[in-house]
Amino acid sequence: MTKRINKFLRSKHFSLVVLLVMMIAFFWAFSKNHSYLGLNNIRNILNSTVIYTLLAVGGGLVIIAGEIDLSPGYVGTAAGAVMAALLNSTGLPWLVVVVMCLAIGVVFGLINAFLINELKLQSFIATLAIGSFIAGGFAYIVVDGKTLEIKNDAIALIGTGRIGGFVPYTIIISTAVIVIYGVILAKTKFGRCVYLCGGNREAARLTGISPRLMSYILFANSGMLGALAGLLYDARLKAGNLTGTNHYVFPAITAAVLGGLSLGGGNGDMLGCFLGLLIISGFNNGLVVLGVSPFWQNVASGLLLLLALTLDYLTKRGTKGGRAHGKAAGV
């Protein structure tokens, strides 16, 4: 037991938890009537992590495998636009439309993987091009530059409905996603393969893993989760939006990195990712609750990130955990 506690105290998760507790205490203390920790506001914080969670999970897996995917935000916008267009102009059942839109995400992911693995483009460039130009432009074409209202009751219920009138369905969906992927990453052979590909691609190949196949799977998965994020975004707004989730991917990656994912690959897990998301969303929420000027909020978010990274560096240095940098976590 003591050993486990010591291990936790030396882990990245501990410094994240300390940061989270500090942040919560600060905002709780300074918020009017301590409303920061009110049930409604906790729901607000979790609700604001929903889209980021989906993008961070998909993008995070790609990062752990040693690549980066900048397209899922744009893919989400495109998928949402397609959903709105199909629901408005065809009689297709909503479930069929949702599956088709998720498939669009998969297709964009496969195109990314093709460009990276077959044409040897850098993932940064390939996914940016596919996302910002192809998927982004596709969204404009689909809705003809207009906003399409979504009137489907089922989609509206998923986006805005609440269990017991309190917990939004979107929170349930995003929580389920991060738990499922967390288990897959930590407890399955597939998860270990992801770490191995990111830690040492050549070693992975020599052990019989196909990094190329893994790349296809992970990019397709990232595209699908990007599409899901876009669908939930539009379902929440009840409208197919032109810019949708375009700008969500960088904050999602930032949260994932804050949560311990190394951009070099081979490191990190979903719990850290979740803590990172919670810290960033909780922090942004706290600034709003305190009524901080919106322009100072950006600066404050940057300072939070710097603080978190510094804390992480000090923790690693203090525990000599830095030696383990690059070592496959959970393997």
Binding mask 247-266 for other proteins (x = CB under 8 A): x-------------------
From candidates 94, 233, 274, 283, binder to other proteins by CB under 8 A: 233
Q: Is 285 in the site for other proteins (CB under 8 A)?
A: yes
3-state secondary structure of 109: helix
Nearer to other proteins, 205 or 238 (CB): 238
CA separation, residue 31 to residues 10, 23, 24, 327 (Å): 32, 12, 10, 41
Q: Is 2 in the site for other proteins (CB under 8 A)?
A: no
From candidates 21, 99, 125, 303, binder to other proteins by CB under 8 A: 21
On the 0-12 / 13-18 / 19+ scale of CB atoms within 10 A, 40 is exposed
Binding mask 299-328 for other proteins (x = CB under 8 A): ---------------xx--xx---------
Nearer to other proteins, 114 or 140 (CB): 140
The b/e string for 55-94 (b: 16+ C-beta within 10 A; e otherwise) is bbbbbbbbbbbbbbbbbbbbbbbbbbbbbbbbbeeeeeeb
Q: Is 241 in the site for other proteins (CB under 8 A)?
A: yes
Cβ atoms within 10 A of the Cβ of 316, count?
17
Least distance to other proteins, CB of residue 318, Å: 5
CA distance 156 to 236: 7
CA distance 182 to 185: 5
Nearer to other proteins, 150 or 218 (CB): 150
Q: Which of positions 167-226 make contact with other proteins (CB under 8 A)?
A: none
CA separation, residue 48 to residues 10, 204, 208 (Å): 30, 37, 41
Binding residues for other proteins, per CB under 8 A? 9-10, 18, 21-22, 25-26, 28-35, 38, 40-41, 44, 47-48, 51, 140, 145-147, 149, 160, 233, 236-239, 241-243, 247, 285, 288-289, 291, 293-295, 298, 314-315, 318-319
